[in-house]
Amino acid sequence: MPKKRRRWQHRSVIFIYRVVRWAQRRLPPGLRTAIGLVLMAAGLLGFLPILGFWMFPLGVAIAVTDFPPLRRRMERWLNETRRRYHMDLLNGNR
């Protein structure tokens, strides 16, 4: 996999992980779902100058935190991905 792509994927996973953790700590459950839905709707309009397609997966990740079975799957995926990229960086595969 090219180096630029790895960096982009690593940064996006870390960004999503941090935002989801922040939302879990600071936002009440109903508001998290509403913000997630707004981000998903804005992500669908990613072709517009200010909005971006990156908003859709972030909205999904935030909205999923209110549904326990889906939250466990998402957390497991985020942790595995974060560990994999962290281990790649430790091994010198940048």
CA–CA distance, 58 with 49 (Å, rounded to integer): 18
Judge whether residue 88 has pLDDT over 80.
no
pLDDT of residue 53: 84
pLDDT digits (tens, 9 = 90+) for 36-87: 999 999 988 888 777 788 888 889 989 999 988 998 998 888 888 777 776 6
Q: What is the pTM of this model?
A: 0.72
| Torsion on CA atoms 67, 38, 80, 1, rounded to nearest 10 | 150
pLDDT at 89: 59
What is the C-alpha separation between 56 and 26, in angstroms, rounded? 21
